[in-house]
Structure 1
């Protein structure tokens, strides 16, 4: 059984990463064919057109580094360290959860139950039927 409260995560699946960013309610902009996924942490009406332009917007960017993404940010963002820490904590937890679910489904497991515990945590029960030939 897996239980996530805090986890160090490598972001390797851009589709899951974008899905989770949307789920958390943040917009994002993609650059260079998904090589850069930019997320404004402090909302602004206008997203920048490139992370390399000088701007006064607080953002995080996920830059593809072959097998995973590196996190890039501007120096202005560090004034909002608590907001960024909360965002990254939620992103890590939700990304890990989503990737675990995807991997389980790819391996042929089926989610059979969702149990809610007393402290409002959800437990997912997966099962996999294997046919044994005799």
Structure 2
């Protein structure tokens, strides 16, 4: 069975439509930029409700609870890895420079026997849709299209 992940695509009008994306932390992603960013999201098992997981993961990856408001289901996509990602759009705002992500531990450098701690997300930023399409994981670009269909002015 494919891994499942759920997340929140936070958006705002300034006056153009902008979305909040996060960049994965850790040494593998340190020098990757284009097609590396993502919506704040995380894996969950079948027993956990997808929306509850999306809300939890948003807080874990940004250090902030999402704004209260109407959540719009953006459906799901299948990433190249086979992982199925489900997303909800939420209008709101967040200081991207102030995020505080949870961390993970891994052996680094490889085969060193030393454990190092890294943030799950090392930064966040607001992007206009055209720029976001260049930065986001290619499969997740469908969420940007669905968002634009519903909320672009």
Please, what TM-score do these two structures have when normalized by structure 2? 0.22
More strand by share: 2
More helix by share: 1
Please, what TM-score do these two structures have when normalized by structure 1? 0.25
- Larger relative CO (CA 8 A, sep 6+): 1 or 2? 2
